[in-house]
Amino acid sequence: MTAPALQARLLGRVGYGDAVAAMQRFTAERTADTPDELWICEHPAVYTLGFAAKNDHVLTPGDIPVMATNRGGQVTHHGPGQVVAYPLLDLQRLGYYVKEYVYRLEEAVIRTLAHYGVTGHRVDGAPGIYVRLDDPGSHAMLAQRPKKRAADGARPQPDFSGLGKIAAIGIKVSRHCTYHGVALNVAMDLEPFSRINPCGYAGLQTVDLARLGVHTSWDDAASVLGRQLALRLAR
């Protein structure tokens, strides 16, 4: 079956709970012929907890609401100045599996960062995209990669030394169809990240494009990321 063209929708600022409810409704009602969509938005300040989240990773939420959700992953923060992209895809129709889907999401972020002269990196065992804080444009392989598994087969703990997380990924797949997605930090108030253990890692630094010296608008970053997602997520 040929996959229809991805339909992009720029939603602007929407409440997190409203966006999740709309994605769940879209996914429940879609058929084999429903075109895939890409929703791009930003949210008012909120902490969200994935399936694997532990309550003690939310340290001092203060007046920022905490919402449990059904995506994968742990705790993260959404807020103004962050581009959030929600691909609503039929993976079976597109012909690739979840692991490749996550790789393609990460690749779209990496290409978006490259557009702004920043090099994004993957860290084994820690989904999302990271940058070198001392040299954001460096293409050198991260020193901690690759790492061998322990004798008992356990994966090594990621080493975030010198890195900042600039994009988080948390997805849900239901009946081969995806929702939730990826969040890219553009120009945010980063202080709320200090009130949690981002993605379950104590002390993990979070960064945005503005702190890296890239001054661009939310609209421009949303446009670049949207184009990259449309390219990377195609069949």
Domain covering 7-232, topology: BirA Bifunctional Protein; domain 2 (3.30.930)
The structure tokens 């994935």 sit at 50
Print burial letters for 180-211: b (CB count within 10 Å at least 16), e (below 16). Answer: bbbbbbbbbebebbeebbbbbbeebbbbbbeb
Phi/psi at 86 (5° precision): -120, 95
Burial environment of residue 62 by CB neighbours within 10 A (0 to 12, 13 to 18, 19 or more): exposed
The conformation of residue 112, written as its DSSP 8-state character, comes to: H
Quote the CA–CA distance of 52 and 56 in Å, as a whole number: 12
In one-letter notation, the amino acid at residue 130 is Y
Tokens 């938005």 belong to 41
What residues are annotated to the active site? 199
pLDDT tens readout for residues 114-161? 999 999 999 988 899 999 999 999 998 887 655 677 777 777 778 898
Separation between Cα atoms, residue 20 and residue 22, nearest integer Å: 5
pLDDT digits (tens, 9 = 90+) for 150-201: 777 777 778 898 999 999 999 999 999 999 999 999 999 999 999 999 888 8
Q: Is the dihedral of CA 50, 53, 59, 60 positive or negative?
A: positive
Average pLDDT over residues 201-206: 90
146 preceded by a cis bond (ω within 30 of 0): yes
Asked whether the whole model's pTM tops 0.75, one would answer yes
Q: At what angle do helices 218-232 and 98-115 cross, to 10 degrees?
A: 140
Chain-wide mean pLDDT for the chain? Answer: 93
